[in-house]
Amino acid sequence: MTQMKYTRDHEWVKLEGNDVAVVGITDYAQHALGDLVFIELPKMGATFKKGAHFAVVESVKTAAEVYTPVSGDVIEVNTALESDYDLLKSETDGWIAKFKITDAGELAALMDEAAYKDYLKTVD
Amino acid sequence: MKQTPLHSAHLSLSAKMGEFAGYDMPLYYDLGVLKEHEWVRSHCGIFDVSHMGQITIEGSGALDFLNSMTPSDFSKLKIEAAKYSVFLNQTGGIVDDFIVTHCGEDAYFCVINAGCKDKDIAWLQSKLPENVELKVHDDYALVAVQGIESEQVLREALNLDLSGLGYMKMMAYGDRCYISRLGYTGEDGFELSVPVEDVQILWHRLLAHPSVKPIGLAARDSLRLEMGYCLYGHDIDATTTPREADLEWVMAKDKIASFPEPTRKRVGIVLTDKGIAREGAEILNLAGDKIGILSSGGFSPSLKQSIGQGYVPIDYAAEGTEIQVNVRGNLIPAQITKMPFLKPKTKTGK
């Protein structure tokens, strides 16, 4: 199991094998949004550059874009989320999409768990 | 930022606070928006709406003055009865929307929008004839108690019997408090206008009742949207006329003809496919031409679908007309729908 990495926009990402990145959103992000009422998932095969918005999660009060922390093609979409938003909370099943990536080095620049926890103290 | 007299009470409830009309207001509390909305639809919610303006227009010319500033006719409004209306500018645009209660002989109590109150008061003052006086009740707070259990809550928490108070009616309680049976949620409920020094104890007594939860402005917005009520500055403003806003029902019949036939109209819109369309989203016809924008929009917790309001050309305003709404580049099928989106449960007139 590789280490989980985090972005300043509260996405998490972890590597599966050498070139598949699994991406979801953190507990903090979910708590800030409140109860979700809709999720817009990316299309299979779509290509995203690091930092592009690839999904949207919506609560009653707001729509929040989810940005991919890495560049790559969408190879798997977690359609189970569409009928169960609570699933997002699960560390194993709460991922939004899996990307086939070309540059695993992009993960190196992201925060590890300790750094993300420190970062959370500075927000809100 | 300005604060209401209940500001510290909201902080002690760990409310998520945010700016609204220059006030630091509770957006939601620990339940969250969705559950707060559902709570009001099934039990009783209390809202601090003390940011709203409370004014009285009184004097021998008060009735004529009000009739001249609005498209309504208040001459048949009975004492203690309330009515919804709008102030109009010289071109017929809406300056504000408000509830007015005929609170005594030659006296009319108005609750005006927080974001409009300074402007309204200055504007009304500038137009005031000599035989009319404008009183601003800055020393009063306003608490809305909304939901099917409201009457029971007020009986049990405050020992008030309001079973005889009809919809859109006001009664005085003691010589300083005023209770009106109305609201902004479509539920049976009341608004309590009380002196600032009494509002803390009122709030805490209500909150102690097991049927009561505090409700923030976010759920207030989703509740009113389901009723198709206007939010000033969004669904109506100085560029919209009451006829365009589908508010002919507030107009005196003999005044309607003096306003031009509208070429566009405020309508209800539901998305017929997945997605949520919010304020600002473009409305398109089936050919893909832009025909308007959503003035309000969001997820309806009761209907579990996206609802909204917007202005469309009269040709598209008929119920059932199929349209599309642009949500982040996706054109989502939608339909013009009659409002309210949900049947109101307000007490019917007595």
Span(s) in chain B for CATH 2.40.30.110: 263-337
Q: What percent of chain A has pLDDT over 90?
A: 80
Nearest to A7 by CA among A33, A34, A25, A30: A25
Give the CATH architecture of domain B1-230. Answer: 2-Layer Sandwich (3.30)
- Mean pLDDT, residues A37-50: 96
Q: What's the rounded Cα separation, in Å, for the pair A99 and B4?
A: 49
pLDDT at B343 over 90: yes
Q: In the CATH scheme, what is the code of domain B263-337?
A: 2.40.30.110
List chain A residues with CB under 8 Å of B33.
Answer: 34-35, 59-61
Task: Work out how many domains chain A is built from and give that number.
Answer: 1
Q: Does A52 touch chain B (CB under 8 A)?
A: no
List chain A residues with CB under 8 Å of B281.
Answer: none
The pLDDT confidence band at residue B76, using thresholds 50, 70 and 90, is very high
Residues 62-101 of A with CB under 8 A from B: 63
Q: What percent of chain B has pLDDT over 90?
A: 97
Count the helices and strands in chain B (H runs, E runs): 8, 19
- DSSP code of A85? G
**Residue-wise pLDDT tens digits, B237-271:** 999 999 999 999 999 999 999 899 999 999 999 99
The four Cα atoms B232, B235, B241, B246 give a dihedral, to 10 degrees, of: -120
**Residue-wise pLDDT tens digits, B18-68:** 999 999 999 999 999 999 999 999 999 999 999 999 999 999 999 999 999
The pLDDT assigned to B194 comes to: 98
Q: Does B32 touch chain A (CB under 8 A)?
A: yes
A34, A38, A40 member nearest B33 (Cβ): A34
The nearest CA of chain A is from the CA of B303 a distance in Å of 12
**Residue-wise pLDDT tens digits, A68-96:** 999 999 999 999 999 999 899 887 889 99
Contact predicate B73/B67, CB 8 Å: yes
- List beta partners, residue B46: B145, B214
Whether A63 and B276 lie within 8 Å, measured CB to CB: yes
Omega before B26 cis (within 30°)? no
- List beta partners, residue B276: none
What's the Cα-to-Cα distance from B345 to each of B182, B211, B259, rounded to whole Å? 11, 18, 32
- List beta partners, residue B330: B327
The nearest CA of chain B is from the CA of A105 a distance in Å of 31
Whether A60 and B33 lie within 8 Å, measured CB to CB: yes
* CATH (domain of A98): 2.40.50.100
pLDDT at B350 over 50: no
Residues 70-89 of B with CB under 8 A from A: none
| ipTM exceeds 0.90, yes or no | no
Count, residues in chain B: 350
Q: Does B345 touch chain A (CB under 8 A)?
A: no
The nearest CA of chain A is from the CA of B175 a distance in Å of 40
Q: What's the rounded Cα separation, in Å, for the pair A82 and A41?
A: 8
**Residue-wise pLDDT tens digits, B98-124:** 999 999 999 999 999 999 999 999 999
Half-sphere exposure of A71 (CA within 13 A, CB side): 6
Contact predicate B283/B290, CB 8 Å: yes
Encoding tokens for residue A44?
């299979």
The pLDDT confidence band at residue A2, using thresholds 50, 70 and 90, is low
Q: Does B33 touch chain A (CB under 8 A)?
A: yes
The nearest CA of chain A is from the CA of B277 a distance in Å of 10
The pLDDT confidence band at residue A104, using thresholds 50, 70 and 90, is confident
The residue range of the domain holding A80 is: 5-122
**Residue-wise pLDDT tens digits, B207-241:** 999 999 999 999 999 999 999 999 999 999 999 99
B28, B218, B276 member nearest A37 (Cβ): B276
| CB-defined contacts A:B, below 8 A | 40
Interface test with chain B among A39, A61, A79, A124, by most B beta carbons within 10 Å: A61
Residues 222-241 of B with CB under 8 A from A: 222
Q: What percent of chain B has pLDDT over 70?
A: 99
The pLDDT confidence band at residue B137, using thresholds 50, 70 and 90, is very high
**Residue-wise pLDDT tens digits, B185-198:** 999 999 999 999 99
Nearest CA in chain A to B225: A60
